[in-house]
Amino acid sequence: MYYVYVLKSLARSYYYTGCSDNLKSRLKLHQAGKVESTKPYKPFELVYYEACLSEKDAYIREKYLKTRLGKSYLRKRLKNWLVRKE
């Protein structure tokens, strides 16, 4: 399985969208500050993920979720969670 995931920084107002074939391991790397692009924003909370059977499909989905339409989809999808958190 390949996973597309969204992390929310607990330190700053920052969301990160990524892709991995091992979600638990990748989250540990983010939390440990071993991912250069997210290092200054740790710690994180996993707020969303999707599983894909194909690596190609997962990367296409990741690319979509990083677009304006994809971010709009996530806001609608996470509407109740976002209201609860803020």
- pLDDT above 70 covers a percentage of the chain that reads 93
pLDDT by residue, tens only, the chain of 86 residues: 999 999 999 999 899 999 999 999 999 999 999 999 999 999 999 999 999 999 999 999 999 999 999 999 998 988 876 655 55
In order of start, what are the domains of the chain with their CATH numbers?
2-85 (3.40.1440)
pLDDT per residue as tens digits for the range 26-35: 999 999 999 9
Q: Please state the pTM of the whole predicted model.
A: 0.89
Determine the Cα–Cα distance for residues 34 and 26; give it in Å rounded to an integer.
10
Structure tokens belonging to residue 53: 């059977």
Measured between alpha carbons, how far is 33 from 51 in angstroms, rounded to an integer? 24
Q: What is the pLDDT of residue 80?
A: 78
Q: Which residue has the tokens 């990748």?
A: 26
